[in-house]
């Protein structure tokens, strides 16, 4: 039997994203409290995410969302990762308020946000170890958050994943003329 890599490339990328999800889950968490949610986006949901990014670009006049919306269509899958907002009760004032009780609900607990960063780092390290192409995208994460792809999560980030001869997520130019 001969199996050509091109014939199984998509399945290989899916396996990598699954390993990235495990790496993110096992990353250290502030106070040991796990409030991270992780999911994989594939197929038609990538198109839905791209369409939401185009909508956000129009609403907020953020042109890079257009470029990123085109760009994620080159991914076989996206890892999305976010955190639920849960004050950790440290009264550390790192959020800008003296106590957790004083912090408004709209202000995220810094520990939650740091947890997202650590989990992203672990996931991207796994991707690097497995030699796939990635890029961390706030834009796609924000669109995933708006679409409710991770229930109750704030600070959602996305990582498109591809395995091609050149990383499609760098040296990017939009095919759509930017106004």
Query: What's the whole-model pTM score?
Result: 0.91
CA pair distance 96, 107, nearest whole angstrom: 9
| Protein fold of 16-162 | NADH Oxidase (3.40.109)
Query: Residue 52 has which token pair?
Result: 């939401």
Query: What distance in Å separates the CA atoms of residue 96 and residue 28, rounded to the nearest whole number?
Result: 24
Calculate the alpha carbon distances from 30 to 34, 110, 117 in Å. Answer: 8, 10, 11
What residue segments make up the domains of the chain, in order of their start?
A: 16-162
Binning pLDDT at 50, 70 and 90, where does residue 175 land? low
Which residues are paired to 113 by β-bridges?
none
Separation CA 35–CA 20 (nearest Å): 17
pLDDT digits (tens, 9 = 90+) for 30-61: 888 899 999 999 999 999 999 999 999 999 99
DSSP code of residue 177: P
pLDDT tens per residue, range 57-84: 999 999 999 999 999 999 999 999 999 8
């Amino acid at each position: 039997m001969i199996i050509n890599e091109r014939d199984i490339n998509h399945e290989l990328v899916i396996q990598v994203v699954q390993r990235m999800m495990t790496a993110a889950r096992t990353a250290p968490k502030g106070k040991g409290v796990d409030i991270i949610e992780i999911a994989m986006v594939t197929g038609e949901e990538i198109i839905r995410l791209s369409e939401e990014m185009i909508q956000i670009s129009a609403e907020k006049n953020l042109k890079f969302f257009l470029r990123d919306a085109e760009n994620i269509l080159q991914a076989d899958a996206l890892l999305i990762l976010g955190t639920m907002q849960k004050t950790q009760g440290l009264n550390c004032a790192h959020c800008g308020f003296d106590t957790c009780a004083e912090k408004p609900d709209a202000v995220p607990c810094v520990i939650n946000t740091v947890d997202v960063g650590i989990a992203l780092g672990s996931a991207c390290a796994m991707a690097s170890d497995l030699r796939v192409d990635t890029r961390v995208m706030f834009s796609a994460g924000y669109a995933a958050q708006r679409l409710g792809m991770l229930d109750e999560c704030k600070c959602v980030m996305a990582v498109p994943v591809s395995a091609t001869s050149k990383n499609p997520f760098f040296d990017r130019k939009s095919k759509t003329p930017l106004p």
